[in-house]
Amino acid sequence: MFERIDPRSSIPLYAQIAARIRVAVASGELKPAAALPSVRELAAELRVNPATVVQAYRDLEADGFVEIRHGAGTFVRELAPARRARERARQARVIVHKMMTEARRLGVSLRELRDAIDAEIGVEAT
């Protein structure tokens, strides 16, 4: 689940961890009541300071994605379908923003980008 965590990114590690968990919850990859790895386990797996994981979990709890039960662990909360849909839509905007930024950097025109998207989804470009 955390293959996209990049220590060289300008985005803080705790924000990357929290974002990945948000995506997993919104997509249904993580089901309600599922236990997240302990702070120590996840910190060791990602090779980050445990305080980084604590901050990610606290942010997720503040946003209503998880529940921290002291002594028991951190668990995924049930999200209303509309909330899950809003989070998926937000993540789609993030993906498009990244794609547009990279396309501009490479000098890819909007038409070229649309053609590539159409080809990728199997729609014949016009």
The pTM for the full model equals 0.75
The DSSP bridge partners found for residue 68 are 74
Tell me the H-state helices in the chain.
Answer: 13-27, 39-46, 50-62, 81-106, 110-121
Is the CB of residue 36 less than 8 Å from the CB of residue 66? yes
Are 70 and 63 in contact, with CB atoms under 8 Å apart?
no
Domain boundaries, the chain: 13-76, 81-121
Fold adopted by 13-76: Arc Repressor Mutant, subunit A (1.10.10)
Contact present, 87 and 22 (Cβ < 8 Å): yes
Per-residue pLDDT of the chain (126 residues), as tens digits, is 777 788 888 889 999 999 999 999 988 899 999 999 999 999 999 999 999 999 999 999 999 999 999 999 999 999 888 888 898 898 889 889 989 999 999 999 999 999 998 898 886 545
Q: b/e map of 54-66 (b: 16 or more CB within 10 Å)?
A: bbbbebbeeeebb
Identify residue 118 by its one-letter amino acid code. Answer: D
Question: How many CA atoms does the CB half-sphere of 102 hold within 13 Å?
Answer: 7
